[in-house]
């Protein structure tokens, strides 16, 4: 009734006056009263505030509810420029908790980002359009649709360079270009873009930008550079770079970026053979991701923890955790995680289960036009074939792994593949050939000799030298 609507307006006005300037704390109540009073403009404004407040409290589900309700109200309003602008802002806000809870690869994330892109183009709103295109890039990248992602990355770079260039958007563009190149296995180009992003990154400017996004480009660039350095054959520089980035990430202790950094740092320590440290970081990641409601990263935390446990000998527990996490995760790391799962099956002597994971990973990589962990995928495939007694096929897979690593300049992955081939050649009585190929790649390295792979390579070279 009119009388009831009037009462809700009075209560809303009273609450608004009472709680100024901290109305965000009662924004949900204010939105409810003004909605029932039929004052939709104020209802939408307070639903936006309620959603933003919920995000600060790590209540993603509640934020989704508030933003979605506001969009429903806006859908009933007259088609004006102001209504369109408010819808655009609300869509960008909604995309963030959706990414956290459903993953970048979710169809709903694409739908929201695509609608925001359309409105951003209609309004010629550079910052909003950039945020929408960034969401679409994450969507296609996470689904290994690298061609579509590359096209969007190029558009983001052009948009960032418009009118003399926006420094904050340029940093994000270089991060995206670098991350795209990294996942496709072009590590030299990745390093170039990521280091450029790091050199021009300003954390204060980033945080004050209207649409900074869920993930900090400085932190993401740092963790990806560190991983690229390890793959390119610089284990110590990789460790130093990751430590610097993790220190920076710890300054944002309840952020999504910190959670992601913990996970990638855990992976790097596993790559170096430091599984105890990897386990500690994985546990910390799960704890922080749970605190802030970052559901997807809780799942990847279980994968990281499971991989570390498997490396430490608790293979059954590790496999269980990895499989649990993989029920949820469907992002760009998926072929890499499946490779780690397959390797754990190999360690457990389970050739059939391991080969199933490899087949799934190869199918994903086939349409991607290159993948950062592709050489390791072929190496693990060879180890599983050798476990099943097929020396000939194992040798072929090891050869593909070596060729892939060399093409990508991935020296650390080349070392692993050559070690697998050398062990096979030793088994076949071809010790001299094994010694020559392993000595050549081992001799390339100038650092990281205390890491697991290089220690293992040295021990194998000594065995081959001692062989009659």
CB 288 within 8 A of CB 298: no
pLDDT at 468: 73
DSSP 229-244: HHHHT-HHHHHHHHHH
User: Taking the chain (468 residues) in consecutive chunks of 10 residues, what is each chunk's mean pLDDT?
Assistant: 80 82 89 92 95 92 96 95 96 96 96 98 94 97 97 96 88 97 98 97 90 92 98 98 97 94 98 97 97 94 98 97 96 97 97 97 93 98 98 98 98 98 97 97 98 98 90
21-44 pLDDT per residue, tens = 888 889 999 999 899 999 999 999
Residues 291-330 as b or e (16 or more Cβ within 10 Å = b): ebbbbbbbbbbbbbbbbbbbbeeebeebbebbbebbebbb
CB 63 within 8 A of CB 55: yes
CB 141 within 8 A of CB 180: yes
pLDDT at 165: 86
Q: Where are the alpha helices (DSSP H) in 374-428?
A: 374-387, 391-408, 411-427
- Coil, strand or helix: which one is 58? coil
Residue 297 CA to residue 190 CA, distance in Å, equals: 24
User: Measured between alpha carbons, how far apart are the two ends of the chain, in Å?
Assistant: 98
Residue 411 CA to residue 226 CA, distance in Å, equals: 14
Sign, Cα dihedral of 274, 278, 281, 287: negative
Q: Alpha carbon 107 to chain centroid distance?
A: 17
pLDDT at 367: 86
227-244 pLDDT per residue, tens = 999 999 999 999 999 999
Confidence (pTM): 0.94
Residue 428 DSSP class: T
Helix, strand, coil fractions of the chain, as percent rounded to 5: 80, 0, 20
């Amino acid at each position: 009734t009119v009388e009831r609507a009037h009462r809700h307006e009075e209560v809303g006005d009273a609450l608004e006056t009472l709680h100024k300037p901290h109305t965000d704390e009662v924004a949900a109540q204010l939105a409810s009263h003004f909605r029932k009073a039929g004052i939709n403009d104020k209802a939408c404004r307070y639903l936006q505030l309620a959603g933003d407040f919920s995000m600060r409290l790590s209540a993603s589900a509640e934020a989704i509810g508030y933003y979605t309700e506001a969009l429903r109200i806006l859908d009933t309003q007259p088609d004006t420029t102001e209504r369109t602008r408010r819808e655009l802002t609300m869509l960008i806000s909604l995309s963030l908790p959706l990414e956290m809870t459903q993953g970048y690869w979710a169809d709903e994330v694409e739908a929201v980002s695509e609608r925001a892109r359309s409105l951003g183009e209609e309004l010629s709103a550079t910052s909003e359009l950039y945020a929408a295109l960034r969401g679409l890039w994450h969507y296609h990248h996470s689904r290994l649709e690298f061609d579509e992602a590359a096209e969007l990355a190029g558009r983001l770079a052009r948009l960032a360079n418009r009118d003399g260039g926006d420094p904050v958007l340029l940093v994000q563009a270089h991060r995206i270009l670098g991350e795209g190149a990294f996942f496709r296995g072009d590590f030299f180009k990745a390093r170039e873009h990521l280091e450029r992003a790091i050199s021009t990154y300003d954390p204060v400017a980033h945080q004050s930008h209207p649409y900074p996004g869920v993930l900090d480009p400085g932190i993401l660039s740092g963790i990806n550079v560190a991983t690229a350095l390890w793959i390119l054959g610089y284990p110590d520089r990789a460790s130093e770079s990751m430590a610097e980035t993790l220190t920076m990430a710890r300054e944002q202790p309840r952020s999504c970026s910190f959670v992601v950094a913990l996970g990638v740092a855990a992976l790097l320590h596993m790559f170096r053979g430091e599984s105890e440290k990897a386990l500690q970081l994985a546990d910390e990641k799960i704890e922080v991701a749970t605190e802030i409601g970052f559901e997807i990263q809780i799942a990847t935390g279980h994968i990281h923890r499971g991989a570390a446990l498997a490396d430490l000998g608790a293979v059954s527990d590790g496999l269980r955790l990895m499989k649990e996490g993989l029920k949820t995760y469907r992002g760009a790391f998926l072929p890499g995680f499946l490779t780690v799962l397959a390797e754990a099956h190999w360690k457990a002597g389970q050739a059939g289960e391991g080969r199933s994971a490899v087949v799934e990973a190869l199918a994903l990589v086939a349409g991607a036009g290159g993948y950062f962990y592709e050489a390791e995928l072929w190496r693990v495939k060879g180890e599983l074939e050798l476990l099943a007694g097929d020396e000939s096929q194992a040798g072929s897979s090891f050869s593909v792994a070596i060729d892939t690593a060399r093409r990508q300049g991935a020296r650390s992955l080349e070392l692993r593949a050559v070690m697998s081939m050398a062990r096979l050649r030793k088994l076949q009585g071809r010790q001299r050939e094994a010694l020559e190929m392993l000595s050549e790649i081992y001799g390339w390295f100038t650092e990281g000799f205390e890491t697991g792979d290089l220690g293992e390579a040295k021990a194998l070279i000594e065995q081959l030298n001692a062989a009659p």
